[in-house]
Structure 1
Amino acid sequence: MKLKPLFLFISIFFCCVKVNADVPRINPDRVKAKAKQSLTFCRQRGYNTRYCILIDMALPSGVKRFVVWDFKKNDTLISGLVSHGCGRNPWSGVWSKDKPAFSNLDGSHCTALGKYEIDGRAGSAWGIHVKYYLTGLEGTNNNALARQIVFHSWEQVAETEVYPNGTPEGWGCPAISNNTMKAVDALLKKQKKHVLLWIYQ
């Protein structure tokens, strides 16, 4: 009879381990490969070669899929949750946490895939009241400025992972949590060259 509590504890422990093991995560090899491609791109274009931002939209929105990559350390410096566009669904809901729609069209309310140049810093009505303009560098995202797609924080984006739930969806901007933005903003303000932001799937 004395073994039952121990057996119960072990069963619960391994059950929890299994659940945690099933949570999707950023693939380290994949993010390193993207970072390597990013560094080549940044060198060719004269962009910042110390940091870049990588967003893996193949992951569900409830897990950390936003990464600030440190080229010098060849490792992740900052990570967090990031929203994607709601598309035809109502704003701020969680409709497409696993399968977002992507579009470059104005009025689509979708996130656009591709490489972006992070441009000027300005005030924002959202989050910590800071935003960065984004210039789309590819045919898949070259309407970013016209669509007013910017990089900002949003109170509805959680500070910790919420999977299997998702992150509330906006109108296509990559929005991160307030605390994550404070760290990223402090870093971006110090950079003299444009930082690359790459949204991929």
Structure 2
Amino acid sequence: MKTRILFLLFTVIPLVCLSCENKKEKTIKTKTSKPIYSYEEKLKSEITEIRSFLGKSPKYNSDVALFLDMKIESGRNRFFVYDLKHNKLLNKGLVGHGSGSETGIQGELKFSNIKNSNCSSLGKYAIGGSYIGTFGKAYKLYGLDKTNSNAFDRNIVLHKYSEIPFDEQPYPICNSLGCPMVNEKFFGVLEKLIDHSKKKIILVMYY
């Protein structure tokens, strides 16, 4: 009888403990796992919002809009050129964000509308006229929301930079001082689109 009891103590109880530990580990993994981010769903949502905005603002181009998804890592394509009229993606490319937006945590950015913060600012922008600056031709940006209302005064512009690669990278690309900064070749695509538009094109930066 004692032998049987000892057998149960040294075999069944450890198995029960092991079962509890495995269940505990599974519970922890489930709680800490992050949901997969779908940039396609987020883009659809932003497109719906901008269509509503453009429907009330006829002074802007309602056929095309530019979308910058800052939730996507900088080494991946996150600058989207979208044809609102025919409901299709026309082009996409890399874009750098402000150095001040870095938090030190991979995949997390912060945003600010404050001067000299070197941060990117979220919100809708109207793309204004072009000028020749430090990086060559660039386009002035006018913030249309409270989150980016200081864009013009902060000299936040859409410009190109030779150090921005054209193809996607497995590592982060270089940062700007708050401006959306793109590859020279990709800038050429945007340039044709902007210069041939009779109305100002809207650029949306979201997170």
TM-score by length of 1: 0.80
In structure 2, do the counterparts of structure 1 residues 26 and 84 end up closer, same or farther at CA, with 3 Å as the change threshold? farther
Matches within 5 A, 1:4-15: none
- Corresponding residue of 1:145: 152
Q: Secondary structure at the match of 1:73?
A: coil
Unaligned runs of 5+ in 1: 1-23, 90-94
Matches within 5 A, 1:48-197: 48-87=61-100, 98-126=107-135, 129-163=136-170, 165-197=171-203
Task: Measure, in 2, the Cα distance between the counterparts of 1:162 and 1:28.
Answer: 20
Letter in 1 for 2:52: T
The structure showing larger relative contact order (alpha-carbon pairs under 8 Å, at least 6 residues apart) is 1
CA drift of 1:25 comes to 8.2
Letter in 2 for 1:186: K
- Asked if 1:32 corresponds to 2:32, the answer is no
**Residues 97 and 167, structure 1, Cα contact 8 Å, conserved in 2:** no
In structure 2, do the counterparts of structure 1 residues 61 and 25 end up closer, same or farther at CA, with 3 Å as the change threshold? farther
Q: Secondary structure at the match of 1:160?
A: coil
**Residues 84 and 100, structure 1, Cα contact 8 Å, conserved in 2:** no
RMSD of aligned alpha carbons: 2.0
Aligned residues, how many?
171
TM-score by length of 2: 0.77
Q: Secondary structure at the match of 2:81?
A: strand
Unaligned runs of 5+ in 2: 1-35
Task: Measure, in 1, the Cα distance between the counterparts of 2:42 and 2:79.
Answer: 13
Larger radius of gyration: 2
Deviations 1:107-154 (A, max 9, x none): 10000111111111111321xx21110010111100001100000111
Task: Measure, in 1, the Cα distance between the counterparts of 2:124 and 2:81.
Answer: 14
Q: Percent of aligned positions with the same letter in both sequences?
A: 31
In structure 2, do the counterparts of structure 1 residues 191 and 97 end up closer, same or farther at CA, with 3 Å as the change threshold? farther
Task: Measure, in 1, the Cα distance between the counterparts of 2:105 and 2:144.
Answer: 26
**Residues 101 and 110, structure 2, Cα contact 8 Å, conserved in 1:** no
